[in-house]
Structure formats: C-alpha cells, structure tokens
Structure 1
Amino acid sequence: MNRAIAATTSLLLVAALAACAPPAKDNSGADTSSGVKAGQATSAADFGGMDGLVAAAKKEGQLNVIALPPDWANYGAVIKAFGDKYGIKVTSAQPEASSQDEINAATQQKGKSTAPDVFDLGQSVALANAAKFAPYKVATFDDVPAKMKDATGAWVNDYGGYMSIGFDSAKVPPVTDVDDLLKPEYRGKVALNGDPTQAGAAFSGVVMMALTQGGSADNIAPGVDFFAKLKQAGNFVPVDPTPATIESGQTPVVIDWNYLNAGATKKVPTWQVLVPENAAVAGYYSQAINSDAPHPAAARLWQEFLFSDEGQNLYAAGGVRPVRADAMIQSGSIDAAAARELPAIDGPTTILTQAQSDTAAKYLADNWAKAIG
C-alpha cells in the first residue's frame, strides 16, 4: 500500500544496487524500421506499427519497473497480464518506494541494465522531473484530456482517485468530520501514507486537510498546521500504513487514497472510508518513460498496454479511476461492473495545477519537518 520509505534507507538500497550493477551500456536501443533508435521513438509508428513495437520489445525480453506494490491500483494483476501477454520478464524493484525514490534510482543507476525503464509518479514529482522523461504518445493519447498530459507525451496521467480517511470502526469512534481526529479517542492512532515531501498520497493528504481548515489549493499552510496539531495532541503516529498495520490495528486510522483504503475492507470488514464533504481532492499518478531506459522498446510497449482498454480496465478492477474512463464509457469498452464500484463524488473537486503543485511542494519542503519533527 505504502509507496514511501525512509529516504536514508532508500538511498542505501539504491547505492547497493548501483554498486553491484553491470557496467554502463548504450541504452538508446536498436534501430526501428524507420531508422530511429528505439530510445528516441515517439510513437509505435516509428516501429512500423504495434506489431513492430511488440517484436522489438520481445527481442529485449525484459522490463524494469519500480515502486509498484501488487496491492496498489491492481498492479499485481497488471504486471502478470503484461508478462503473460508478451512473454516479457518484468523485474519489479523496491515496490514500497516513493515517487522521489524512483527518480533517485534512475539517477544512481543511469546507464546500468538495472535502471528503471518506466516511472509511476505522483503529479508533483513528475512535473519537477519532466526533463528526465522520453516523450512518447500511445495509440490512445487523444483520449486523455489535455490537462492530464504533457503535450509531447513526456508524462501522461493514467489513473487516479480521491484522498480519504479510512478507519476501523471496531477500534475507534466513527469519523464523521476531520476535526474528530484531534479528539483524545484517536491518540496514537492516525497515520498518513508517507512523507508529503516525497510521496504523492501524503502530499494530497495535506492538501485535503488544508481544504477542511480554511485553506485552498493555493494555500496548504492550514493543512500542515493541522498535522502539527495532531502531533501535539499525540494522535499522529509516524508509521507508514500497510495492509499488515491496518489488519493488526497498529494504524486504525489512515489518510490515503480512497482505492487503497477501500481495499482494506477485504481483510478488515469493519473498515470504513470517508471522503470529507467539500474537500474532495482528486489526484492522478503519471506514467513516464526513463529517457535512459535500458529496455526502451519494452518501456514503450508497457505504456501502450497501460493505456489500452485492457490495461485501463485492470486499473478499474483495482478501484481506481482510469484516465480514459469517460472515453471508454462513451465507447462501451469499460468494465461495467468495475465502473459501478468507482466512487461518486457530489460537489466540487480540487485538482492542483502545476503552479499550485510547485508552490505546495516548496512550502512542504520548508515547513513539513518543522511541523511534525
């Protein structure tokens, strides 16, 4: 569930991987049918179409992914389906890593065969690192709303959801309002999914709290202040929540994406999920290709798969909203049963712009550690 681990630990892991990795290699890939290196291909057309791309990816035979827990957005099933369909071995590194850890790994392992081929990033981290991505437009690129993608295809949002509060009603009083979390009954019980300076879920959790405390997408200071109050009350627990911590009762209240909180009900029937009224914060994760991907054709085929009807329906089966949902509903290609389980939100929804995200990220970098340290 949790894609954020301590920065010092992640850096040690990255360093260890880099130390034992094979020597640097040319990661530009083989020539495509159009004469363009696979690492510079901007669409399947450069490979002569999808058949050419599939053939090139199969020849590489491997794909390196990172920070994809199997219980996050149905990635266990997504990875298996891709590997089974194309006969490509998928190596999944650091499944519990944060978005920033992904970028750190690519930097540390640049030129190595173990470097990440693709990224799955929180919006703020994606926007801050767009220069590190290879522009690529999948076949369904036009189905993705303009505000959900870079015009060149350097990054494209692929799935999303709403920030929420999950709680075990058998262990804590029902949460009906955010301010309930400040009460003594929640002492040592409230967890946030990660560090908001590194992890997209935690970042959006602070934004949600800001909206409930009189803040806005332009001013997240009240959200940071709220977590400071939680810490002062002894209610904030500095534990990154996982399915295991929820099941054991170590984290009976979790601030996280609705689809991850909803997933907890499979093992904890008394788990409930609340999206605070008038504080619906929608967040999408972005797909991107490492510009130095060691398997550039497989990286591009992975993108095609994720944005295909098959890939998008696998996301929906995991409780997340596929970015192509509207187009798929219109065409009738969406999994109707999965679509019915997606949350319906009444009222306004907040999605940060790039400028708002940059401002919020800077504020968190300057103030988060001081607030909860």
Structure 2
Amino acid sequence: MPSKTPSKFTATAAALLLLGAVACAPPEKDSSGGETESGTNAAQATSAEDFGGMEGLVEAAKAEGELNVIALPPDWANYGAIISAFSDKYGITVNSAQPDASSQDEINAANQQKGRSTAPDVFDLGQSVALANTSMFAPYKVEKFDDIPEAFKDPDGTWVNDYGGYMSIGFDSAKVPPVTTIEDLLKPEYQGKVALNGDPTQAGAAFSGVMMAALSQGGSADDIAPGVEFFRKLKEAGNFLPVDPTPATIESGQTPVVIDWNYTNATETRKLPSWTVVVPPQGVVAGYYYQAINKDAPHPAAARLWQEFLYSDEGQNLYAQGGVRPVRADNMLTDGTLDPAVAAALPVID
C-alpha cells in the first residue's frame, strides 16, 4: 500500500519509529520548457490561455511526449485507470516512478533530480509536506479552477486539493473478531495483527492513523501525544505488527488488521470478500491531498495538461470510481456531471 505524507507533523510523532527512503539517478536535461503560441515559456504558463487555449496546450504537451509522475500506486485513488486514460487520450507516455513512495520522497526526488529528464513533473502530497514546500510549485489555474471551492485551493493555483477520504480500520473478518472501536485493537485477540500504513513522520496515512488514535483518546489536532501513547501501548501489548501493509500481505493474511485511508482499505474488499472496513466514530479523521506542478518540471506543458485532465469531469469521475471524494464533487452533483453510479458511495468530507 502506498504511504502518503502527514497532514500535520509535530515532534511527538517522531516517537513512532518506522522508515522512508528514496533512490535517484540519470541524465541532465534543460527543463526550461519551450515557448507557447503567445510567446510565453511553458514553464511560466499560469493557464491554458498562455498556450492559446486548450488546443495549444495539448499540442505543446504532445510535442514533449512524456510525463513523469511519482508516488501514484495503481490501486490508490484509481491512479492506474487515470494514468491509462490520460496516456490513451493524448498519446503521452507516463513514466510512473516509485509508486509506493511517501510525499517526502516526492520532494526529495525533485530536489535530487533537479535539471534531469527523470525529475517529477507533478506532485500528489499530504498537507504538511505540501505547505512546507510551496516554493517548489508553479502556479497554474486549470479551466475548472472557479468550480473548485475556495477552501480547497491556493488563490494563485500554487496548489489545489484533488481528492479526500476518511482514516479507517480494515480487518479480515475470517481471521480476527470484528473491530468496532479503536480500543478494540488493544485486546489480546489482535496480538501481532495490527499494521499501520507507513511511517508517521513521512506518510500521511500513518500520521493520520496516529491522529485517529489521538482523537479517540482525548487528544486533538494540536495534541497528538495521546495517539503516540496509544501506539506505545499497542506495541507493548504485542499487538502492533511492524510490517508495511500491501495488497499481498493482506491477501496472504500476514496483516489481518490495517489502519489506512478508507478508499485504500476498500479496494481490498473486491479481492478479499471477508475484508471489512470501518471508520471508528470515536476518532474521525478526514483529509484531502494536494496536487501541484514542479516549477522545474522537465515536461512543463505535459504537467499542466495533466492538471487539466485531473480536474476535468472525466478526471474527477475517475477519482470517484476509486472510492475517493473528488474536490469538485459537490458542484458536479449539482450540475449532474458526477457519475450517479459512484456518487452515492462517496465519502463525505466535512
């Protein structure tokens, strides 16, 4: 399972020790980008108008021919289908690097590969890493920018929320008793069975899992110490399983209980009928991820076309099919452009 980055971070979270890593490489490339129809450098374009409209943007992106994405697992938010649809529609090769990387890994890769043809063109980040690195983003407003609620975007388009969901507990009902509360996880029946998706200091799912535990124990967004204490107790009881869960570990029974986003956990129900997903009412944690363009993108036009695709009706519906709530969901529900087959199953984000 992918490990995205924390929506918030405090020094207390570092008390939970797990891992994170990045690898990099290849050739240097001038990432300054070509000129648009209006004479604007593609890397400086702030809307499709700078390309003379969408046709000009598509032409410029096709001329680049490639797009580099990172930390986008195929089974996370339906990114496998989204990448295929984008590539098929525009004939652009999508190079997907480190699909299981964390958000911090994305930033590290951009810094380490700056000026190279392999550097990430775009980012999909958790809140804390996104807001700590806005100087690395290129402002850009997609055609649907005005349809995105103000609370979910930077006014200049430096970043825009893309999709969201709830923190949840997934469990194999054929192997463990039903989980109804977070406190249940401390019971002897769950010894050596509870896994957390990623490192809380680098992965959004893991940090939000700690946050969920904190809220259930009387903590808050500003005080996650009770969540850290809960995981200390979980480890002391022998219930915490220091294994990063994946579809393979779930299906094999190695990780019969997983703390992760509801949409990621929910994908397992299609493969494992006994897999059940609950959102504990004692510690409800909801959150959106952040989409941004690398200001040093080696394929600046393709990066901007990718954003246009993600926020188009087609892209938003593809997100929805992955069980996440696309950021334009409310407006699309109102105007009838959200696929009714998936709309009813979307998580509600307050």
For the aligned pair, the TM-score class normalised by the smaller chain equals over 0.9
1:135 aligns with 2:132: no
1:242 aligns with 2:246: yes
Extract unaligned runs of 5+ from structure 1.
Answer: 350-373
Q: Structure 1 segments of 4 or more deviating over 3 A?
A: 4-9
The SS at the match of 2:281 is coil
The SS at the match of 1:161 is strand
- Does structure 2 retain, via aligned residues, the 8 Å contact 1:149–1:155? yes
Aligned CA RMSD, in angstroms, stands at: 1.6
In the alignment, which residue of structure 1 is the partner of 2:328? 324
In the alignment, which residue of structure 1 is the partner of 2:27? 22
In the alignment, which residue of structure 1 is the partner of 2:309? 305
In the alignment, which residue of structure 2 is the partner of 1:164? 168
In the alignment, which residue of structure 2 is the partner of 1:145? 149
2:37 pairs, out of 16, 33, 36, with 33
- Does structure 2 retain, via aligned residues, the 8 Å contact 1:4–1:240? no
Structure 1 residues 101 and 53, CA gap change in structure 2 (3 angstroms)? same
In the alignment, which residue of structure 2 is the partner of 1:273? 277
- Does structure 1 retain, via aligned residues, the 8 Å contact 2:268–2:275? yes
Structure 1 residues 218 and 9, CA gap change in structure 2 (3 angstroms)? closer
Q: CA deviation at 1:26?
A: 2.2
In the alignment, which residue of structure 1 is the partner of 2:340? 336
In the alignment, which residue of structure 1 is the partner of 2:91? 87
In the alignment, which residue of structure 2 is the partner of 1:10? 21
In the alignment, which residue of structure 2 is the partner of 1:229? 233
* Deviation digits for residues 155-186 of structure 1 (CA, Å, limit 9, x no counterpart): 11100100001111111110011101001111
- Does structure 1 retain, via aligned residues, the 8 Å contact 2:170–2:276? yes
1:42 aligns with 2:54: no
In the alignment, which residue of structure 1 is the partner of 2:262? 258
In the alignment, which residue of structure 2 is the partner of 1:353? none
Supply the AA of the counterpart residue of 2:27.
Answer: P
Structure 1 residues 4 and 120, CA gap change in structure 2 (3 angstroms)? closer
The SS at the match of 1:33 is coil
**Worse-matched range after superposition: 294-303 or 214-223:** 214-223
Supply the AA of the counterpart residue of 2:3.
Answer: R
In the alignment, which residue of structure 2 is the partner of 1:371? none
Q: CA deviation at 1:3?
A: 2.7
**Using the alignment, how far apart are the partners of 1:133 and 1:276 within structure 2?**
35
**Using the alignment, how far apart are the partners of 2:144 and 2:72 within structure 1?**
23
Q: Which has the higher contact order (CA 8 A, sep 6+)?
A: 2
**Using the alignment, how far apart are the partners of 1:2 and 1:50 within structure 2?**
32
In the alignment, which residue of structure 1 is the partner of 2:185? 181
Supply the AA of the counterpart residue of 1:134.
Answer: A
In the alignment, which residue of structure 2 is the partner of 1:208? 212
Supply the AA of the counterpart residue of 2:310.
Answer: L
The SS at the match of 1:159 is strand
Supply the AA of the counterpart residue of 1:22.
Answer: P
Structure 1 residues 206 and 302, CA gap change in structure 2 (3 angstroms)? same
**Using the alignment, how far apart are the partners of 2:348 and 2:289 within structure 1?**
19
Q: CA deviation at 1:344?
A: 5.1
**Using the alignment, how far apart are the partners of 2:292 and 2:4 within structure 1?**
19
1:62 aligns with 2:105: no
1:113 aligns with 2:117: yes
**Using the alignment, how far apart are the partners of 1:256 and 1:75 within structure 2?**
17
**Using the alignment, how far apart are the partners of 1:7 and 1:28 within structure 2?**
38
The SS at the match of 2:87 is helix
- Does structure 1 retain, via aligned residues, the 8 Å contact 2:4–2:126? no
1:75 aligns with 2:79: yes
- Does structure 1 retain, via aligned residues, the 8 Å contact 2:62–2:91? yes
Structure 1 residues 312 and 161, CA gap change in structure 2 (3 angstroms)? same
- Does structure 2 retain, via aligned residues, the 8 Å contact 1:206–1:224? yes
The SS at the match of 2:50 is helix
Supply the AA of the counterpart residue of 2:109.
Answer: A
Q: CA deviation at 1:8?
A: 7.4
- Does structure 1 retain, via aligned residues, the 8 Å contact 2:181–2:282? no
The SS at the match of 2:35 is coil
> What TM-score, normalized by structure 2, do the two folds share?
0.94
In the alignment, which residue of structure 1 is the partner of 2:8? none
**Using the alignment, how far apart are the partners of 2:18 and 2:233 within structure 1?**
24
Work out the percentage of aligned pairs sharing the same amino acid.
75
- Does structure 1 retain, via aligned residues, the 8 Å contact 2:18–2:199? no
**Using the alignment, how far apart are the partners of 2:231 and 2:190 within structure 1?**
13
- Does structure 2 retain, via aligned residues, the 8 Å contact 1:68–1:92? yes
Q: CA deviation at 1:61?
A: 0.4
**Worse-matched range after superposition: 76-85 or 336-345:** 336-345
1:295 aligns with 2:306: no
**Using the alignment, how far apart are the partners of 2:254 and 2:71 within structure 1?**
23
- Does structure 1 retain, via aligned residues, the 8 Å contact 2:195–2:245? yes
1:97 aligns with 2:101: yes
- Does structure 1 retain, via aligned residues, the 8 Å contact 2:4–2:205? no
> What TM-score, normalized by structure 1, do the two folds share?
0.88
Structure 1 residues 316 and 26, CA gap change in structure 2 (3 angstroms)? same
**Worse-matched range after superposition: 220-229 or 86-95:** 220-229
Q: CA deviation at 1:57?
A: 0.2
**Using the alignment, how far apart are the partners of 1:102 and 1:343 within structure 2?**
26
